[in-house]
Chain A
């Protein structure tokens, strides 16, 4: 326990070296957002010629540690015990803080998932240092080795750069889905230091008594999202979008009113009160482009809008704008895709 005590500037910040990344695990595997942390962690460690160390806490860690190593770290540091099987804040924070005092990392990155945020500020307080929440841009000043932690504020309108100059480690949580997962490469060199620990019973104060897996359809991971709005005019319009989505290997999204009138289930809704997606391709069919919808899809790589209204707001968010009826445009896209695939088949077979 930390007690009521202040944050203290570190005497010799130069003694703090290397980048720590926390590996969050679920049901025996490392979660994707932690692999993203390996990606950005590797980048900043390389910029200053330091090591990347992955911290993992739980039970039966070896397969997960081996797996993480394939994404590129120099060392995996683990605390393993049957008592650590489930995520429990106090013992997890305890071991993470112990690893910090032992290894003195300069930087510690944690994915800003619910468990990640649950843990991050407790580790920071234990280490009497600062932590910047939910960063979307992370860099390092190569000379001073100061972490440049940037986070969106004021409803994503402004990016604030936050520094923790005098305290170590410099900690940040980083938004899932923003940083890239590095390529997985077999046979990388990585030091394994996984310790069997005996957890102080006083740290075990909560018990996980159940879990209900999410049954919702999840549109957030898809590379292609084909969304429909009120402009579809009828429920059957979504069957047409479904056919296109399947042809493209994507999923169907929707505006809120299309969900409200019952054309499609709520878990397909994109926007402020739905899901935020950032696919490679977003198709907005019969969607006007109101602000609450735009926040859910504006980070897509390419946006195609189909709308009969030449002045619809969606136009300025589109890369391609088809000013026509959805019932003309969608079948035409489908036809062209089938045609192009047909040509490719011919190329292979002839």
Chain B
């Protein structure tokens, strides 16, 4: 039986183009182009490289506005087999809890799944909490922050990047895997797959398809709220211009203020 792989992707404003509105201090998303979240592209590539070796079927699942189907079509153009967009006004304004719940509800409607891939985080909300949330709702184990993933003898083996090294983890499917930004080089779309993708199209699912109450999702279902946004002020620095002759004075100032520790070994 083919391995069933789900890849969760999100369309985000291109971070290179995002502008902060100088008056309202909020993100001016209207100006930015929308793109596939880069870490999700890496997650898709990790899934596709498994499909290169074994018989596998890849379903893309994304929650977002109707235009997010572009990002899903892009994934299909690279080799994903099916695309599902969860789109409904009720989903708007979700924090990580209902986002995970909505995605998990959709995934649980699929006949079967062996692996779920997600990016390590998105560029617009950068929490990294959605992937593990989905794993919790579905009651499965997870391997997060992977820089490489392989499927061998029925096991998923992931190399996790930690602060002090790389941990190698082995788990039996079903398992959720999150993939490090930049951990692989995503392939390009091919013309044939692109045409196939357009022919197949993206399925659009609403709240009704998921069978969960409207107050569980979107803004209403979110335990956290943003109370305020403040511009972060850069620290003011004096840029005191000094000459070579004044360096002695500077060193003394830094020593007196404790920035430089003049450790003197006792003789």
A interface with B by C-beta (< 8 Å): 1-7, 9, 26, 31, 87-90, 93, 113-115, 117-122, 124-126, 129-134, 152-167, 176, 205-214, 223-224, 248-249, 280-281, 298-299, 301-304, 315-324, 328-329, 332-333, 336-337, 339-341, 344-345, 348-349
Contact B231 A158 (CB under 8 A): yes
Q: How far is the CA of A157 from the CA of B232 in the complex (A)?
A: 6
Work out how many contacts link A and B, with CB atoms closer than 8 A.
Answer: 255
State which size class the interface on B falls in.
35 or more
B244 interface residue per 8 A CB criterion: yes
Contact A165 B225 (CB under 8 A): yes
**Interface stretch (choices B55-63, B75-83, B141-149, B185-193):** B141-149
Q: Which 7 A-B pairs have CB atoms at the shortest separation, nearest pair first? A: A130-B223, A1-B139, A121-B129, A133-B127, A210-B168, A6-B216, A206-B171
B208 interface residue per 8 A CB criterion: no
Contact A321 B224 (CB under 8 A): no
Closest CB-CB distance, B60 to chain A, in whole Å?
Answer: 20
Given A317-B237, A345-B267, A322 and B244 touching (CB < 8 A)?
Answer: yes
Contact A332 B252 (CB under 8 A): no
Contact A280 B259 (CB under 8 A): yes
14 contacts between A and B (CB under 8 A): A6-B221, A89-B144, A118-B144, A122-B135, A126-B136, A133-B96, A161-B228, A163-B227, A213-B164, A214-B165, A319-B237, A321-B240, A321-B241, A336-B251
B52 interface residue per 8 A CB criterion: no
A contact residues around B167 at 8 Å (CB): 87, 208, 210-211
A contact residues around B163 at 8 Å (CB): 31, 113-114, 176
Contact A134 B126 (CB under 8 A): yes
A contact residues around B143 at 8 Å (CB): 206
Contact A7 B226 (CB under 8 A): no
Closest to A303 in B: B237
Given A158-B25, A160-B226, A211-B165, A125 and B242 touching (CB < 8 A)?
Answer: no
Contact B139 A328 (CB under 8 A): no
Contact A114 B226 (CB under 8 A): no
Closest to A325 in B: B244
CB interface residues, B 154-200, toward A, < 8 Å: 157, 160-172, 175
Contact bitstring B237-267, A, C-beta under 8 A = 1, else 0:
1111111100110111011000111111011
Contact B223 A205 (CB under 8 A): no
Contact A166 B223 (CB under 8 A): yes
B contact residues around A324 at 8 Å (CB): 243-244
